[in-house]
Structure 1
Amino acid sequence: MSRSTAVAAVGEVLTVTRIPAGRLWGAGVDVIDHDRFALAIRRTGPGLLRRVFDDSERSGTDWSRDGDELARLGRLFGIKESVVKIAGGLPTGAGYRSIVVGEAGDDGVRPIELRGALARWAVGEQVKLVGGVLPAGRMLPSGPSGPHLDLCWAAATCGESGTEQAW
């Protein structure tokens, strides 16, 4: 597998080739159903977007029309859900805006910044987080009439810092 590919499907096994250095502390996955996510956004309007996404994550969002933009936000939401699973839930005072998912690098891996109570949790546990998306169409059957799903993931590592390692 090429090192430029962060996530690849090998049979039914998900392989992550780059995460922050250290021991794997925890991992979380979430399957995002884009149709249900888009319906929720259309029902609630921009209020839900403001409660869930940081300004940098939703910049330029035309949630009312742009299906590609809603899919991008759905993937970010799935990564955030994966982080919540790693943390064992949202601590008091934390919300989805406390999790800021960065832009994907050339390899598809996204840095994750935590704020407030979640940042204090990460410092206490000495973990760093990254995340990404594996289009479920590569692993699950889907078609024009089938569900539009993506597998989102996050990984937390502890120990060494500063360098990254391949698995």
Structure 2
Amino acid sequence: MNRSIGARHPVVHDDDEVVAMADVRTLPVLPGAVSSAGVDLVDQHRFALAVRRTGPKFLHHVFDDTEFAGAPASSGVPDGPRLAELGRLFGIKESVVKVVGGLPKDGRYRDIVVSGLDSHDIRTIELRGCMADWAVSRQVELVGGVLAGEVPLPALDLCWAAAIRVPSPAAAMPGSRS
């Protein structure tokens, strides 16, 4: 599983004339069939502004204690790279909400817990409460990640999440019928 750094591909106009070369980024190869997917574009400047306006109350409303660990600065609001990382986690959570089809009535952003990176830049996502029930009923696990912003838009991060089908325990057992 390897994430593409990007490749130059021609952008072709209707009359087969090459009008530009574009960088194309691809997501990692995922470890199973994708049931549903969601994406979110995070503007880091707007995220930082929202955090500064609302303070730590917003962060504690959205992030689980494990995600927020080590984040607070003296003012209770992280800055710099840690704030940008929280912005990316927020984007992944927004992507999960799209995968699920909307935040359920009893769902909370804290019910979506995004882990650290694995060796392929993929994050596992733990769902709790009614969102966990959604995943179990559909026999899926969630993964996500970020394609971090680059020139010319360094403050934008494309975040994604995907529901990956997992085999039922009965199907995985030898001698079971499908």
Do both share a fold (TM > 0.5)?
Answer: yes
Q: TM-score, normalised by structure 1?
A: 0.83
Q: Which residue of 27, 32, 46 corresponds with 1:36?
A: 46
Q: Which residue of 148, 152, 159 corresponds with 1:135?
A: 148
1:16 aligns with 2:23: no
Q: Which residue of 147, 152, 158 corresponds with 2:159?
A: 152
Q: 1:114 and 1:157 mapped to 2: Cα distance?
A: 13
* Per-residue Cα deviation, 1:12-35 (whole angstroms, up to 9, x for no partner): 5442333232x2101111010000
Q: TM-score, normalised by structure 2?
A: 0.78
Q: Computing the radius of gyration over CA atoms, which structure comes out larger, 1 or 2? A: 2
Gaps of 5+ in 1: 163-167
The question of whether the paired residues in 2 share the 8 Å contact of 1:20 and 1:130 is answered with no
- SS state of the match for residue 30, structure 2? strand
Counterpart position of 2:137: 124
Q: 1:84 and 1:7 mapped to 2: Cα distance?
A: 26
Q: 1:74 and 1:161 mapped to 2: Cα distance?
A: 34
The number of equivalent residue pairs is 152
Query: Identity over aligned residues, as a percent?
Result: 52
- SS state of the match for residue 50, structure 1? helix
Question: After TM superposition, where is structure 1 displaced by more than 6 Å over at least 4 residues in a row?
Answer: none
Q: Which residue of 85, 90, 97 corresponds with 2:98?
A: 85
Query: C-alpha root-mean-square deviation of aligned residues, in Å?
Result: 2.0
* Per-residue Cα deviation, 1:75-107 (whole angstroms, up to 9, x for no partner): 000000000001000112111001000000122
Counterpart position of 1:27: 37
Q: Which amino acid aligns with 2:6?
A: A
The question of whether the paired residues in 2 share the 8 Å contact of 1:31 and 1:149 is answered with yes
